[in-house]
């Protein structure tokens, strides 16, 4: 296990890297380690709807070595993740062999709302890095119980944190502050475990 040397954050499908939660995380943590907010190519091209996740996974996997180099770290020291679709793409990339120190998965879209049978977990058993999941207790994309059940398939250590009353997009200042605190605390524990 490695300490986090830098953090890469990606947005949800309909949002950009300027999402307020990602900005809040960068503002809070950039004094501790390099933080990069990263838009996928479809967003940089001005499109709102993403292509299929597998295509974005390939894009991200190709971009990660350059992003790590620009941040001055090894890919093994880069924690990657993001909100919803962005976190899912990062988790799929790691499952497919992309190097990372860990995954930060905010509002992970375990399934579409009201479609719990359409799980997006087929790659979980191939994830072998530490993972942080932060979700609202009222998120229609994943209940706390569902996340607890399905993340058991992940090989790496899993930390689950829930924000009481929050939905898929934590839009209150208090909810966003809680997300930032959970991410910061988890990154600290990642460093502590790496030193043991």
Residue 193, pLDDT score: 62
User: 39-84, pLDDT tens digit by residue?
Assistant: 999 999 988 888 889 999 999 999 999 999 999 999 999 999 999 9
User: 122-132, pLDDT tens digit by residue?
Assistant: 999 999 999 99
User: 111-166, pLDDT tens digit by residue?
Assistant: 989 899 999 999 999 999 999 999 999 999 999 999 999 999 999 999 999 999 88
Burial track 156-168 (b if 16+ CB lie within 10 A, e otherwise)? eebbebbbeebbb
Domains, in order of start, for the chain: 21-195 (3.40.50.1820)
Q: Are 163 and 135 in contact (CB under 8 A)?
A: yes
Q: Taking residues 175-193, what's their average pLDDT?
A: 88
Closest CA to 182 of 18, 29, 5, 11: 29
17: left (phi over 0), alpha (psi -120 to 50) or beta: alpha
Token digits of residue 10 = 């990606």
Closest CA to 80 of 94, 66, 95, 97: 94
Q: How confident is the model at residue 12 (pLDDT cuts 50, 70, 90)?
A: very high
Question: Is the pLDDT score of 194 beyond 60?
Answer: no
**pTM for this structure?**
0.94
Which residues are within 8 A (CB) of 60 and not within 5 positions of it... i.e. 6 or more apart? 10, 40, 89, 90, 93, 98
The phi, psi pair for 158, rounded to 5°, reads -125, 130
């Amino acid at each position: 296990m490695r300490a986090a040397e830098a953090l890469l954050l990606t947005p949800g499908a309909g949002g950009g890297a300027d999402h307020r939660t990602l900005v809040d995380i960068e503002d809070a943590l950039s004094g501790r380690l390099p933080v990069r907010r990263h838009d996928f190519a479809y967003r940089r091209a001005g499109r709102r709807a993403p292509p299929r996740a597998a295509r974005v996974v390939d894009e991200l996997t190709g971009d990660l070595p350059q992003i790590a180099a620009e941040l001055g770290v090894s890919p093994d020291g880069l924690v990657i993740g993001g909100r919803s679709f962005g976190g899912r793409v990062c988790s799929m990339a790691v499952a497919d062999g992309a190097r990372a120190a860990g995954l930060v998965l905010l509002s992970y879209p375990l399934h579409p709302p009201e479609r719990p049978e359409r799980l997006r977990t087929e790659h979980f058993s191939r994830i072998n890095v530490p993972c942080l999941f932060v979700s609202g207790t009222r998120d229609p994309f994943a209940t706390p119980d569902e996340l607890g059940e399905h993340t058991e398939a992940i090989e790496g250590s899993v930390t689950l944190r829930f924000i009481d009353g929050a939905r898929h997009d934590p839009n209150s200042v208090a909810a966003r502050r809680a997300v930032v605190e959970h991410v910061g605390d988890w990154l600290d524990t990642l460093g502590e475990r790496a030193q043991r």
